[in-house]
């Protein structure tokens, strides 16, 4: 876990540095991250860590809803960043850490809960959710558990990331002497009037 967390911050900083955000990308990315944060919030508000085996609510859809929500959040941030390099780094991060982490947690849960875990694992997939069970995703959730897990810190972190991307978009749009590109046209960046004075718009004859 320490390696996963330690790698996340440099990855986030590199993604912001590489980012070429657009208005559309930020809007779509924000929507995806909101879904991811909702999934994480529901999972955290149902989990009694190291006490009981959570099998209802989001845990009736996927055995690792926190990681699934995190992947959605990461996908939303990548969409907002509009960088293929950042996307490749994020995909490598997920591939490197998520499968091993989920497998390790499954082994711990099996050792602690035995047959109850085996029965749960037989009907609920490890990662990709069962779409037919989405109606029960909010069952058994508790605001007190959400506060106890401090899941609100993820909301703050994502909000900070989106704010940095928005600031980068604004800074790029307001840079002196910057000319519009096709990317700006697609992103809705307004044209800037020319700062040069006394220049005719007609060709001299």
Angle at CA of residue 125, ends 124 and 131, nearest 5°: 80
Residue 201 inside a domain? The answer is no
Q: Which domain holds residue 52?
A: 2-175
Dist. CA 39–CA 72, nearest whole Å: 9
- 53-92 pLDDT, tens digit each: 888 888 888 999 999 999 999 999 999 999 999 999 999 9
Residue 197 inside a domain? The answer is no
Residue 112 inside a domain? The answer is yes
Q: Where are the alpha helices (DSSP H) in the chain?
A: 2-18, 23-44, 65-81, 84-113, 115-123, 143-149, 152-173, 182-187
Residue 204 inside a domain? The answer is no
For residue 62, how far is the Cα from the chain centroid?
18
Angle at CA of residue 129, ends 123 and 130, nearest 5°: 55
Residue 196 inside a domain? The answer is no
Q: In the chain, what percentage of residues exceed pLDDT 90? A: 39
Tell me how crowded residue 148 is: count the other CB atoms within 10 A of its CB: 14
pLDDT at 199: 38
Tell me how crowded residue 53 is: count the other CB atoms within 10 A of its CB: 14
Residue 129 in tokens = 């959710």
Residue with the bigger pLDDT between 168 and 8: it is 168
Please tell me the total count of domains within the chain.
Answer: 1
Helix axes 115-123, 84-113, angle to 10 degrees: 140
- 118-143 pLDDT, tens digit each: 999 999 999 998 876 556 676 666 77
Residue 188 inside a domain? The answer is no
3-state secondary structure of 67: helix
Residue 176 makes CB contacts below 8 A (sequence gap 6+) with 195
- 175-199 pLDDT, tens digit each: 665 544 444 444 444 444 444 333 3
Q: Is the pLDDT of residue 160 over 70?
A: yes
Residue with the bigger pLDDT between 43 and 199: it is 43
Residue with the bigger pLDDT between 69 and 7: it is 69
Residue 182 inside a domain? The answer is no
Residue 116 inside a domain? The answer is yes
* Long-range CB contacts (within 8 A, 24+) of 132-138: 133/60, 133/61, 134/61, 136/56, 136/57, 136/60, 136/61, 137/42, 137/57, 137/58, 137/60, 137/61, 138/42, 138/57
- Global pTM reads 0.76
Please report, for the domain that includes residue 91, its CATH number. Answer: 1.20.120
pLDDT at 6: 65
């Amino acid at each position: 876990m320490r390696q996963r967390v330690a790698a996340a911050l440099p990855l986030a900083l590199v993604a912001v540095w590489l980012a070429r955000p657009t208005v559309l990308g930020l809007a779509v990315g924000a929507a995806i991250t909101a879904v991811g944060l909702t999934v994480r919030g529901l999972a955290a508000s149902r989990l009694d860590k190291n006490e009981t085996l959570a099998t209802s609510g989001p845990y009736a859809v996927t055995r690792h809803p926190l990681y699934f929500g995190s992947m959605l959040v990461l996908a939303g941030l990548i969409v907002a960043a509009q960088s293929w390099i950042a996307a490749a780094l994020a995909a490598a991060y997920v591939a490197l850490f998520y499968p091993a982490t989920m497998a390790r947690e499954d082994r711990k849960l099996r050792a602690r809960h035995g047959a109850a875990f085996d029965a749960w694992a037989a009907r609920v997939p490890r990662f990709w959710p069962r779409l037919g069970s989405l109606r029960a995703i909010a069952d058994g959730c508790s605001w007190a558990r959400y506060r106890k897990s401090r899941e609100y810190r993820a909301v703050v972190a994502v909000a900070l990331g989106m704010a940095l991307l928005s600031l980068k978009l604004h800074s790029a749009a307001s840079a002196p002497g910057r000319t519009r590109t096709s990317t700006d046209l697609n992103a809705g960046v307004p044209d800037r009037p020319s700062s040069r004075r006394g220049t005719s718009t007609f060709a001299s004859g």
